[in-house]
Amino acid sequence: MRYGTTIIDDIGNEHPRRNLRLAEMGVLEERLESEPKEKVAQIKSELKSLARGEHEYEKSLADMRAEEKAFLAKAPERKTAFEKTLTDSDAKIRKWSLEAMESAARVEFYEQHVELSYDYELLARTHRMMAEQLPEIASKRRQILDELNEVTDELERAKKEDQSQVMADFRQYREERLKKRNDEKAYLKKLYKEGQISSKAFANEKREKDLAASEDIRSRKQLLPIEMLTDRVRYLKHRLRQDEKQALTVLHSDIADLRRKTPIEISKRFPWVSYLTIPIPGLGQLILGQSVKSIFFFIGTLYAYLIAIPYALGRGNYRGQGLFGLISLAKDASRLDRSVIFMIEGVIAIILLMIAFLIFYQSYRDVHKNEQRMIKGIRINNWFETRTTASRSGFPYFASAPAALVTLFIVLLPIAVTVLISFTNYDPSHQSKFSWIGLANYKQIFLGQGIAGGPFWLITGWTVIWTLLATSLAIFIGFVLALLVNQDRIYGKRFFRTIYLLPWAVPAFITIMFFSIMFSPDGPLTNLLHQLTGQIINIKDSPWGTRIVLILLQGWLGSSYVFLLCTGILQSIPGDLYEAAKIDGATGFQQTRHITIPILLFQTAPLMIGQYTFNFNNFSIIYLFNGGGPFEPSKYGNLAGSSDLLISYIYKLTIEKQFQGIGAAITMIVSLVLIFFTWIGFSRSKSFREEKL
């Protein structure tokens, strides 16, 4: 990277270089590209000489720095001399006054050398600003302190004086005002009994009378001498804190603006510090002068080297061996060690390392970015600017960081463990110790082989049929009922709405168990079917009989939610739309098709898609109604029944039969397919794309 003859500030303005050595090197580098070959060697020689610092500017700068060091060394002497001129006893006022006097002295010193370096120009302008603003801040504080002392003295005198007459007058006023309020409320009560105002108006007027009386009494109390002086003292103390904070913030903001407009010149052309700080986050910030920021990254360094890396190497594990345990899965461990514990602790080690890597990366990225800015001429942020930027734009990150950490361990950890288990032979024969088997579980599922892969496709087909029919039926019933109840010609709407909400209000498991008993071999509904048809029909022993009842039952259970959702949306549709449609000659069916349905679909599409996802994994109705039966071992083996969904099939595989490996593989397939189709449904809905209706 070439030095060039100009640099830029944080705003983007170009400035000529004041470091004459770097400026001449920039000119030579430009000549190196345009001069003929015979002069290249001479130019390179001059560049090497300048790179070693052999320039009169460097000598002048060194002399200036020595003079500056001697000047700053006399700061304690100047402070002693300044203190003799101060008469104010307040510590903050004395501090600001001393800083202002010292700044005035430094302005006089640095202004003689502003043409030598932009750093000295910044120091001169910064100290001038401090010399001008700090006395004003101190003066304002002194005014408030004097006023506060005066008011405090008045308050003490008021407390010593006899306030009995004043308090008596106040109590008399309060009694009169309360009596007036009671008379007004009595008059309102009379109007209410005579039927001149409604009950709602009566309640509102009473509340207003109470509030008005309370406000009048409070205002009168604040006029009492002691109350008024106490409020004044409280106000002045508040001003002391806030005015000081605001004034100092303005001063630091003005200094920050100066820093943005004043460039910096450094001889470095390669951001080497950022690479140096890779193994030690915080070191680069400390080298660049951002000491406070470096503390936070040093804490991250301690976390990485004292927690994350040792845990990944097996130190501090409960029973596992960190990352090594994830590979071995307790193969050569003791009898008490379990592979699943080793796997979980290995995943935790990876998560801890991911957090550590993020800290390392952020530290490198921060230093690298700041070095590149400094090479261009832009000054990096001081602590005030960093804190201000973090408070403005960093709040979302600080607010979401705790939730993100919790999500890593309660969401990402179980998902990662499930994914890994799907590549193992975790089954009844390998409960304590299992090993990696690659894609064998997935191969068995897709080819329909083995004890678990055989019934997979049969159960998948029924799961798809169940999801589409049960959900669509629930949506249809809920939508039709909502349309009927929303009609103006329907009477008893409250009654019907209550009836239609009962399936949702009553716990679903009660309804499911009720119908399971009703359709049992000796159940009332089974006997009713026998009387109607003259044949013995056992629904729970018939695969398609059970499936049809399950679809109808879920259609009724799920319709209440859809009914409630659609009812709320239908009531919010403006009646003007229907009036305009009637004027245009639209029939009731056309109004429903072109107005009602599009609005409903636009506002409920994400929730309706969620209903399909819910029913795809609806475990309770399958398990409670018939336990997944009836069972057909010739088709489904001994692990599933003809009405089992994939979710209940997974439950039986993993919980009842202990086939965790292949159960995890099926879970991953189901999850990926479900995520894919849900994403397609969401992405194609207008509400997801935030389009206008």
Q: Write the DSSP string, 603-616.
A: HHHHHHHHHHHHHH
Mean pLDDT of 428-454: 88
Distance in angstroms (rounded) separating the CA atoms of residues 29 and 48: 11
Question: What confidence score (pLDDT) does residue 579 get?
Answer: 78
Question: Does residue 414 have a cis peptide bond before it, meaning omega lies within 30 degrees of 0?
Answer: no
312 and 353 Cβ atoms separated by less than 8 Å: yes
Concatenating the DSSP letter of every residue in 276-291 gives HTSSSTTHHHHHTT-H
> Which pair of structure tokens corresponds to residue 500?
């239609």
Give 93-141 pLDDT, tens digit per residue: 999 999 999 999 999 999 999 999 999 999 999 999 999 999 999 999 9
- Dihedral of the alpha carbons of 653, 659, 660, 665, in degrees to the nearest 10: -80
pLDDT at 266 over 80: yes
For a pLDDT cut of 90, what percent of the chain falls above it?
52
Model confidence band, residue 693 (pLDDT cutoffs 50, 70, 90): very low
- Our CA dihedral for 415, 418, 422, 427, rounded to 10 degrees, sits at -170
Interval 553-572 mean pLDDT: 86
Strand pairing category for 6-8 and 14-16: antiparallel
pLDDT tens-digit map of 611-630 = 888 899 899 999 999 888 89
pLDDT on residue 686: 57
How does pLDDT run across 636-685, given as a tens digit for each residue? Answer: 888 888 999 999 999 998 998 899 999 999 999 999 988 888 887 777 66
d(CA 159, CA 543): 91
Give bridge partners of residue 8 from the DSSP assignment.
14
d(CA 32, CA 382): 37
Distance CA 327, CA 338 (A): 13
Give the model confidence (pLDDT) of 395-422 as tens digits.
Answer: 778 888 888 888 888 999 999 999 999 9
Where residue 324 falls among pLDDT bands split at 50, 70, 90? very high
Q: 136-188, pLDDT tens digit by residue?
A: 999 999 999 999 999 999 999 988 888 888 899 999 999 999 999 999 999 99
Q: Which of 48-62, 356-370, 608-622, 634-648 has the highest mean pLDDT?
A: 356-370
In this model, does residue 687 exceed pLDDT 60? no
* CA angle, residues 241, 246, 252, in degrees to nearest 5: 130
Does the global pTM surpass 0.75?
yes
pLDDT value for 684: 65
Q: Give Cβ neighbours of residue 142 (< 8 Å, ≥ 6 apart).
A: 88, 90, 93
- Residue range 256-274: average pLDDT? 91
Q: What is the pLDDT of residue 692?
A: 47
1.10.3720.10, 3.40.30.10, 3.40.50.300, 3.40.50.150: CATH of 454-487+545-684: 1.10.3720.10
Rounded average pLDDT over 436-450: 89
Q: Which residue has the higher pLDDT, 412 or 690?
A: 412
| Residue 236, amino acid | L
Q: How many CB atoms lie under 10 A from the CB of residue 16? A: 9
Give the residue, 439 or 588, on which the prediction is more confident. Answer: 439
Residues 499-543 have pLDDT tens digits of: 887 877 788 888 899 989 998 888 888 888 878 777 777 888 888
Position 147 scores a pLDDT of 94
User: How much is the pLDDT for 582?
Assistant: 79
Whether residue 374 has pLDDT greater than 70: yes
Give CA torsion, residues 570, 572, 578, 579, to 10 deg. Answer: 150
Q: What was the pLDDT predicted at 685?
A: 62
Q: Stretch 17-28: mean pLDDT, rounded?
A: 87
pLDDT reported for residue 439: 93
Across the chain, mean pLDDT equals: 88
- Locate the domains of the chain by residue range: 272-421, 454-487+545-684
pLDDT at residue 35 in the model = 74
